[in-house]
Amino acid sequence: RLCRPALGGDGSADDDPLSPREREVISLVFDAGLTREQIARMFRIRETTVSSVLLTGLRKLKEQTSSAAVAAYLKLA
């Protein structure tokens, strides 16, 4: 799957910053290609809730990726 590397592989890491719902929504958007409307219907929640979960998860991934990039750069310096 496309998102698995960014999401931490198989999801078994104890230090995973994402909630199970965040992981699932991100995967449904980027791997399965579902829209927020489709996901909202699937979970019987509002589309705005899907958007919120998606944005929160993506922010967490960005923070994790940025921190990892800085750490890798500092090791090279």
Residue ranges and CATH numbers for the domains of the chain are 4-76 (1.10.10.10)
CA atoms within 13 A on the CB side of 17: 13
Higher pLDDT, 5 or 47: 47
Q: Are 1 and 31 in contact (CB under 8 A)?
A: yes
In angstroms, the CA 38 to CA 50 distance is 10
Is pLDDT at 19 greater than 90 in this prediction?
Answer: yes
Q: What mean pLDDT is predicted for residues 38-45?
A: 98
Average pLDDT, the chain: 84
The pLDDT assigned to 1 comes to 47
